[in-house]
Amino acid sequence: MHSQISAILKPVLVPIHSAGWPFIAAFAAVALALALVFQPLGWIGAALTLWCTYFFRDPPRVTPVRPDLLVSPADGLVQMVQPAVPPAELGLGAAPLPRISVFMNVFNVHVNRVPADGEIVGLAYHPGKFFNASLDKASELNERQSVRLRVADGREVGVVQIAGLVARRIRCDLVLGQGVRGGQRFGIIRFGSRVDVYLPEGVAALAAVGQTMIAGETVIADLTGTEAMRTGERR
C-alpha cells in the first residue's frame, strides 16, 4: 500500500527550485492575511499559493548522454524553427544560424538546462522591453540573458533566455569558463517566457514547430547527424 501511495504522489511531490521559496512564502502570507479579513478571499489566496508552488517545481530529468546530441534547454512549445541572426552580444557572427524558439507558458516548468556538455565561453545580459515572448521581435527587443557554449569539437551553441510579457526576472547561475554537462540546471525565468537556441552552421534542427519540449530530455539536434530538418503535423 505504501509503495502504491508513493507511486501516486511521486509525479505531484516534486522538488521546488530554490528561487521559488521567497515567492511561495509571500503568497502564503498574503493568503493568510486575506483569510483573516474575509475567509473566501483566503481560499483564493491558498489556490494562488498552490499555483506558485507548482510554477517553481523542479522535477528530475533523464538526459540522453550520447556525445554530439543537443537537448532542449526549456520546457514548452516550439514556436519557430528558422534561420536568424544571433544577438550581437553572443559573438556568433552576423550570418543567420538555425534557431529553435521554445515558448514557456505559466504552466510549464521554468527551470532551464544546458543543452550539451561543454564550456561557457560567453555570457551577456541585455536590458530591454517586455513584449509577449511569443512574438518574433522579442528575440531582438526584450530583456535577455545570452549564453555561448563551446562543445567538445570546438563548435559553439547560443542559448538566450528571453523575458516575456509577465516575466520580470531572468536568473542565470553560470560563470565564464565553467565546465557544464548536458541537462545540468543553469537558471530560471519568472513568469512565462522563451528560450532561443542558435545551432552551429549546417546543423539541422530536429525539433518541429508545434512540438512540446521537455528540458534536458528532448533532443533538438545532432551535431554529427545527416538527417534533414524535421517537420511535423498535428495528429
Catalytic residue ranges: 193
Instruction: Give the span between the Cα atoms of 203 and 206, in whole angstroms.
Output: 9
Cβ(207)–Cβ(213) under 8 Å?
Answer: yes
Compute how many other C-beta atoms are within 10 angstroms of the C-beta atom of residue 85.
16
Beta bridge partners of 103: 77, 194
Closest CA to 208 of 79, 114, 111, 69: 79
- Beta strand spans in 111-172 (E): 111-113, 118-126, 144-150, 156-163, 169-172
Beta bridge partners of 152: none
**Strand-pair category, 156-163 with 169-172:** unpaired
